[in-house]
Every structure is written in C-alpha cells, then in structure tokens.
C-alpha cells in the first residue's frame, strides 16, 4: 500500500492541522505506518528536528501523532513572516533568504514544486500512507497558478482531497459548495467530500443540510466532529485566546498548594513559539494569559517575554506601550521575569542587528549582562543540559549570538536576581526542571504554590493526541476514509459550475 490524502479547508484555522494529526493517530493505532506532510507552511511556530532542520511545529506534532521522528521531508518549505510583505524562506530546514510575497508567488514558489514532489514521493515510498495538510483554502483563485500546497500538489501526486469546514464560524454549507464551485474541472475531480468540524448540538438537525449538500455536489460528508475544548495544539496561525486579558484555554486543575500562580505572557509583535508556555498552562494551579498593557503585569507572579521574528520591533513595542518600564520596575522589586530566545535578547544591554531589522546597535532593557550580535547563519540545535539541579532538553532557533558577561549561569543564558534569560525553546517541557523553576518563581513572588508532583507534559500531550484519534474513530466514517486513502478519489464526481475563472 502507498496511500495518500490531502486535508484541505474552507478557510485558515478550519481545523486542518488537528484533523491531519487525528487521522495520523487513528491510522497508527490500526497498525498503519503513516507520516504527515505539508508542502509549504507559513508559521512563526517552528521546531528543530534531530538532524538540525527547522520545520513547522504543527508537522512535528503530527509526526508525534504518527509515533515517528519528524524530518525536513515532512515540511520542505517553511515561510516565517518578518513583516506584512516579506518572509524568511526556509527550504529543507535551512534559511535561504528573505523574499517579498510578490517575489515568492511571482515565480519562486512554482520553482519549488519539484522539491516538494520529491519529498512527498520519498515519504510515500517509505510509509503505507501519507496524510497531507493543505494551507488556507484550495479556492484561492488568485494564487492557483503557482500553488504547491493545495490542488497543485493534489493534481501532481493524484491525491484525493477532503475539505474540512469549521461550522462554529457559520456558513459552512455555502463554504463547502463555494470551495468546490471555484475549482477547475480537473481539480474538482479530486475533491471527494467534506468533513464538518467543531459542531455543537444534535447531529440529526444537521443531517438534512448534509443530504442537500450531497445532492448539490455529488459528494458525501465523511463525518461530523463535535466541538472539543483544548484540542488546538501547536497551531500555526495565531493564539487561541484574545489578548484582552483572556485566560489561555487549558485544563487548569486545583493547585497542589494553597496559592495559584499567575503567568502573564507579553503578546509582542511577530511572536514565535508561544507554545513554550503550554507546559506552564498544563500545571495544576498555573493560569496563563497573554497581555498587552502594563497594568496587566501588576498581579502577575511571572512575566514571560517569548520569542519573536522581530526582536528590535518587539523591543520598540514594549517601550511604546509602557511595558518596558513596567518590566524594569518588576526587576528592581525582585519580581520574576523570564525571557526566551528573542525575549532573552530584549532583556540584554544592547543588540547589534544588521540581519533581521538592519537597525545596527539598539539599546536593550539592560536587565541582564548580555550583549547580542545578529549573525547571518541561523543557530538550529537540540541542546541538552542541566539547570536548577534538573535535566533539561530544548531546541534553539535564532540568529542572535549572546555574549553573556555576568550573572549566574542558566541554560545557555544567565540569571540576575529574579530575571532569567535563555535561547532554549521547549525547556519547560522537561518536568523536573519546570517544577524546580516554578518553585523558584513562587518563592520570589511570595506565593504558597507547590508544583504537582505527578504532572507529565509528555503524557498530557499523548492524551491530547489520543483524543484527536478518538474524534476520528468515533465521529468520522472510517471505512469510507480508509477506502479514500487506499484507492483515491472515486471516479465520475460531477462538475459544479462555474469552475475556476480562465
């Protein structure tokens, strides 16, 4: 068997990533050797594979769902936005330069089709099935000519396509119909059917609409997935919270000690790898929220400055909003602050940047004795070490090179009082280290918080992935889904006018 399937969506954030992960987990539980694939990903949430390649975190999560090690083959093209008009292009895990959207879609993207198809062919030659994820919508008619991630790859690799729609947004039937009707006849021949996502209520009330959709398009629905809280793991497109003081969606249990800990994450521009705080949110009694005003730091026991693709821009944003001064006051009062990657660089004395912002020397917040110089070569590593007496693993993705000139050692960075800084993403997923760090934070914050002894972030992640597999197994037509993966789109699917414009 060398089966395949492309999961497309009516919109961004329709649920393509989690559906792809759910199908991978369902298949591997059936004994199928399966791999995920996304030809081109636009995301600031990335991960470093064991061979030192940078890929989207969603594909790393999907590989975990498939119980395999992630590789660059699973996400050959990664675009990391640096502004509204340009992105860093990462090819086969390595950065190859900055490019404007016009330049990329004007020819560069189409030239990458061969690389993308070679990666997919290699995966299909190794695995029983490859579950591919599309991007945005396949009906983005302005971009169809150069498409290598939706119908472009489906056509070239003869992949059947399943379209996912988020019914919680409303208008899902019109979105399903319109998606098919805006595709060319050749593209429509590969669209096998639909999958409804995030449904709340009685499914029997939805069935007349599904029947009418089948009559209109000649295509069945492959299932209705119910709405479930806490399934949006390792997302690409944004936060799962609004920034106006909302508590991050997480399964917050009662604290083991007498107090809770409040964590405020500064929602800086071009925020990257905000998934670093997921492990904090998983701790019983820890409440994590994203903030953008200085007054929202007042009751926080820990403030986190996360990574960013625009360190200098984020520093200016902190100053403009009064958050920089609030952070300085916290440090002077001995109240905890943690900077990760770009956040670590912001806490230093100054930044010499002729690579990312090209602004030259810029003064930092001066809370850590660190000087940062941006190198053209990107650091992509999977470090292992020890901190606070505990084993720690992480990954690094940065151009900034830190010259640490004092303080107490802390991973690859340093600590001064209650201010910590490190380039290591993912360090808080190491359970012993996370608990030791939270004990330090609680002591500095004067809170009677005690980390729960049995919390395993890896086990919680596995539980989430199993829940995704359960959704597919219990609410999708798995027999029909298996036939689709194994045999491709059925023949004779009708054309829905008007089709793609000439």
Indicate if 425 belongs to the active site.
yes
Q: Could you give the count of Cα atoms lying within 13 Å of 264 in the half-sphere of its Cβ?
A: 23
Contact 444, 367 (CB under 8 A): no
Alpha helices, DSSP H, located in 55-200? 57-65, 101-103, 109-111, 113-126, 151-157, 172-181, 185-188
Residue 300 neighbours by CB distance under 10 Å: 23
- Give the containing element (helix H, strand E) for 410: strand 408-410
- Residue 382 near residue 409 (C-beta atoms within 8 A): no
Determine the 3-state secondary structure of 99 from DSSP. Answer: strand
Taken as a whole, the chain contains a residue count of 502
For residues 123, 125, 126 and 130, what is the CA-based torsion angle, rounded to 10 degrees?
50
CA nearest neighbour of 65 among 399, 472, 341, 355 = 472
Phi, psi of 416 (to 5 degrees): -130, 110
Residues 6 or more apart whose CB falls under 8 angstroms from that of 43 comprise: 56, 57, 58, 78, 79, 80, 236, 237
CA dihedral defined by 153, 158, 159, 161, rounded to 10 degrees?
90
**DSSP track, 194-209:** EEEEEE-S-GGGTHHH
SS3 label, residue 40: strand
The backbone torsions φ and ψ at residue 73, rounded to the nearest 5 degrees and listed phi first, read -60, -30
3-class SS of residue 3: strand
- The angle formed by the CA atoms of residues 357, 149 and 61, to the nearest 5 degrees, is 75
Rounded Cα distance between 310 and 459, Å, is 33
The interaxial angle of helices 57-65 and 457-475, nearest 10 deg, is 70
Q: Quote the CA–CA distance of 118 and 141 in Å, as a whole number.
A: 25
DSSP run (H or E) holding 383 = none
Distances (CA, A) of 4 to 153, 370, 474, 484, 485: 12, 49, 21, 8, 5
Catalytic residue among 24, 119, 266, 341: 341
Catalytic residues: 341, 425
């Amino acid at each position: 068997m060398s089966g395949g399937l492309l999961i497309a969506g009516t919109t961004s954030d329709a649920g393509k990533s989690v559906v792809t992960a759910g199908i991978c987990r369902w298949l591997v539980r059936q004994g199928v050797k399966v791999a995920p694939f996304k030809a081109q990903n636009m995301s600031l949430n990335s991960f470093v594979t064991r061979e030192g390649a940078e890929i989207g975190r969603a594909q790393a999560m999907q590989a975990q769902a498939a119980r395999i090690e992630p590789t660059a083959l699973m996400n050959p093209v990664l675009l990391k936005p640096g502004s509204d008009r340009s992105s860093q292009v990462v090819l086969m895990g390595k950065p190859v330069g900055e490019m404007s959207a016009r330049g990329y879609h004007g020819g560069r993207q189409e030239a990458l089709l061969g690389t993308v198809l070679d990666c997919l062919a290699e995966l299909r030659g190794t695995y029983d099935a490859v579950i591919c994820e599309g991007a945005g919508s396949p009906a983005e008619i302005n971009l169809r000519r150069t498409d290598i991630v939706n119908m472009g790859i489906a056509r070239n690799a003869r992949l059947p396509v399943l379209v996912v729609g988020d019914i919680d947004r409303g208008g899902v039937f019109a979105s399903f119909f319109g998606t098919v009707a805006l595709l060319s006849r050749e593209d429509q021949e590969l669209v096998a059917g639909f999958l409804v996502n995030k449904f709340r209520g009685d499914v029997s009330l939805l069935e007349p609409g599904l029947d009418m959709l089948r009559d209109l398009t000649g295509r069945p629905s492959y299932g209705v997935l119910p709405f479930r809280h806490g399934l949006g793991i390792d997302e690409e497109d944004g936060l799962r919270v609004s920034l106006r003081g909302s508590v991050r969606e997480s399964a917050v249990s009662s604290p083991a000690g007498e107090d809770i800990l409040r964590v405020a994450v500064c929602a800086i521009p071009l925020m990257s790898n905000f998934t670093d705080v997921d492990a904090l949110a998983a701790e019983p009694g820890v409440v994590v929220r994203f903030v953008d005003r200085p007054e929202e730091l007042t009751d926080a026991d820990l403030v986190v400055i996360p990574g960013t693709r625009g360190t200098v821009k984020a520093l200016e944003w902190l100053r403009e909003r009064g958050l920089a001064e609030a952070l300085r006051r916290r440090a002077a009062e001995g109240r905890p602050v943690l900077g990760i990657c770009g956040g670590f660089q912001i806490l230093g004395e100054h930044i010499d940047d002729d690579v990312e912002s090209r602004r030259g020397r810029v003064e930092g917040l001066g809370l850590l004795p660190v000087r940062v110089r941006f190198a053209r070569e990107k650091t992509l590593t999977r470090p292992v070490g020890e901190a606070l007496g505990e084993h720690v693993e992480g990954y690094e993705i940065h151009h900034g090179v830190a010259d640490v000139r004092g303080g107490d050692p802390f991973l690859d960075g340093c600590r001064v009082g209650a201010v910590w800084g490190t380039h290591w993403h993912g360090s808080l997923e190491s359970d012993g280290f996370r608990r030791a760090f939270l004990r330090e934070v609680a002591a500095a914050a004067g809170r009677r918080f005690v980390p729960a002894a049995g919390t395993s972030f890896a086990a919680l992640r596995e539980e989430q992935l199993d829940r995704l597999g359960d959704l597919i197994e219990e609410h999708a037509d798995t027999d029909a889904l298996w036939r689709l993966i194994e045999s491709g789109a059925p023949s004779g699917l009708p054309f829905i006018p008007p089709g793609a414009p000439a």
